[in-house]
Amino acid sequence: MNLISLEEALQSRTREVREKFKTHLSASFANIQILLNFDRQFIRGEGTKLWDLDGNEYLDFVGGYGSVNLGHNHPRLLEALRRVEQVPKIVQVSLQQLPAALAHNLAQVAPGQLTRCFFCNSGAEAVEGALKIARAATGRPGFISCERGFHGKTFGALSVSGRAKYKTPYEPLLPGCTLIPFGDLEALENALKTRDAAAFIVEPIQGEGGVILPPPGYLRAARELCARYGTLFIADEVQTGLGRTGALFGCEPEGVEPDILCLSKALGGGMVPVGAYLTTEEIWKKAYGSFDTSLLHTSTFGGYWSNTLACAAALTALQVTLEENLPARARENGAYFLEGLNRLKGAYPLLKDVRGRGLMIGIELADQGKGLLSKLSTGISERVAGDFGQVSSLVAVELLNNYRVLTVYTLNNPAVIRLQPPLTVTREELDYVLESLEQILSRRKSFLGTATAGVGGILRTRKRS
Ligand SMILES: Cc1ncc(COP(=O)(O)O)c(C=O)c1O
């Protein structure tokens, strides 16, 4: 036996890390990262900045897929985790101080009458809990959700998500799930009319679908339709929640009061995994109101209790978000960034679209005809690179390797690059990314040529070996 200590792990170099990834995690994932030169060992983070083993500085515009709202290693979060050093981290058979306080605070800030809270460890778990309570409270079996929507990869969450690629290998999924186009009220009403649906689950802005905003008024009208047909309205705010879109919650601008609200990602301050769903007293009582039903849906690290570190992080993250006015900062800096990106869109046809609100932003790259990359890599890229074989990934590779800016595509729409920096991002950092993008876009031909030739060459070498 040869166990690695924490200290040794922290000292490990690139080659060892790659080897262990290939042997014990995923060789395919490791190989793609290495091929695209996407692989770095980041050993320090502060605000928007990351530093690798060689001391190179990067800007993080992935932001933990929207979880690092406060920036990396916010000092108040680190202090909060130190403050609870002596407190036991998990004790279920009791009523603990921190989960009680966190549930109270979430109820204070949530829209509408969402006074009941359930804790968990991830976005998918929050969605699972939301789907389950919707069934238990309504006695109905079905769910309605949107094409291209993303709610997580556990069975229930996957069943209401919208990309076949992630679903097909696991079928049959949950029965009674209906997918409708996002933003289409008529389709929603048709699906509601059967009165079979326990809930309609929707993201206020589709994140992994490629940062898609619904038409104005959609969320409010959808919420009203759900109420008319006795179907619960679940707002999945795992990605939009806690300031990302320029308001504390993405459904706030339309004054929507959901029946159930899912949170995760930024709830743990980008430091500790934690999730939650909130619901009303009435729904809670119907589903879990008696002693007998109160423990129907729980888990070791979730339910009415949550890990002390998760609660300390979440209590502090929420406080910092409000005290540092992060939603307003996201709104102002997001508008500034979008304006700059739209200017680039006007000047460079490779940038097909720019979308977003607050600092939840996506840029869509123009399709270069089926397989420019494929042609240059004699078709290998399609098989080896999958979603990575798109122009968006080439731009992301270029941003990382030549400008040290971290970005990545959205899961359900690989043509779109997400730009989701911490909400503490500075104007200077935004300007740097705008300038970097402009340099890449302005030399479209040479950039595409070099990037594809580079990747294609590596892929061909790999195929021969
Ligand atoms: C809207 C939404 N819901 C749910 C999830 C799933 O969260 P997790 O990855 O923590 O399971 C995500 C993740 O990206 C998400 O964006």
User: What CATH class is the domain 12-70+326-464?
Assistant: alpha beta
Residue 279, beta-bridge partner list: 116, 260
Q: Cα–Cα distances in Å, from 388 out to 226, 409, 413, 455?
A: 38, 8, 11, 11
pLDDT of residue 448: 66
The alpha carbon of 202 and the centre of ligand 1 are apart by a number of angstroms equal to 12
pLDDT of residue 412: 86
In this model, does residue 66 exceed pLDDT 80?
yes
Which residue, among 246, 61, 238, has the nearest Cα to 160 in the 3D structure? Answer: 238
The alpha carbon of 214 and the centre of ligand 1 are apart by a number of angstroms equal to 18
In this model, does residue 465 exceed pLDDT 50?
no
pLDDT of residue 104: 98
Q: Say what percent of the chain tops pLDDT 90.
A: 83
Residue 72, beta-bridge partner list: 47
Provide the token pair at 39: 């692989």
pLDDT of residue 373: 57
Q: Is the CB of 381 under 6 A from ligand 1?
A: no
Residue 150 falls in the annotated catalytic set: yes
> What residue spans of 231-325 are helical by DSSP H?
281-288, 308-323
Mutation probe of ligand 1 site: the residue of 249, 264, 410, 420 with most atoms within 8 A of C-beta:
264
Using an 8 Å Cβ cutoff, are 238 and 251 in contact?
no
Q: Which residues of 21-57 are buried (b: 16+ CB within 10 A; e: fewer)?
A: beeeeeeeebbbbbbbebbbeeeebebbbbebeeeee
pLDDT of residue 93: 87
In this model, does residue 430 exceed pLDDT 50?
yes
pLDDT of residue 189: 98
Q: Is the CB of 65 under 6 A from ligand 1?
A: yes
pLDDT tens column, 202-216: 999 999 999 999 999
pLDDT of residue 392: 86
Question: Hunting for tokens 């301050």 — which residue is that?
Answer: 269
Q: Residue 85's CB: how many other CB atoms inside 10 A?
A: 10
pTM: 0.94
Which residue, among 71, 3, 131, has the nearest Cα to 421 in the 3D structure? Answer: 71
Residue 21 falls in the annotated catalytic set: no
Q: Is the CB of 412 under 6 A from ligand 1?
A: no
Residues ≥6 apart with Cβ < 8 Å to 332: none
CA-236 nearest atom, ligand 1:
1
Residue 196 falls in the annotated catalytic set: no
The alpha carbon of 299 and the centre of ligand 1 are apart by a number of angstroms equal to 19
pLDDT of residue 463: 52
CA distance 445 to 49: 30
More confident residue, 380 or 88: 88
pLDDT tens column, 414-424: 899 999 999 99
pLDDT tens column, 189-201: 999 999 999 999 9
pLDDT tens column, 327-375: 999 999 999 999 999 999 999 999 999 999 999 999 999 876 655 555 5
For the chain, domain boundaries: 12-70+326-464, 75-323
CA distance 280 to 261: 10
More confident residue, 382 or 131: 131
Using an 8 Å Cβ cutoff, are 385 and 180 in contact?
no
In this model, does residue 381 exceed pLDDT 70?
no
Selected catalytic residue, list 119, 200, 236, 301: 236
pLDDT, average across residues 301-305: 89
CA distance 419 to 264: 19
pLDDT, average across residues 218-238: 98
pLDDT tens column, 390-426: 788 889 989 999 999 999 989 888 899 999 999 999 9
> pLDDT confidence of 384, banded at 50, 70, 90?
very low
Q: Which CATH number fits domain 75-323: 3.40.640.10, 3.30.70.100, 3.30.2290.10, 3.40.50.300?
A: 3.40.640.10
> pLDDT confidence of 389, banded at 50, 70, 90?
low
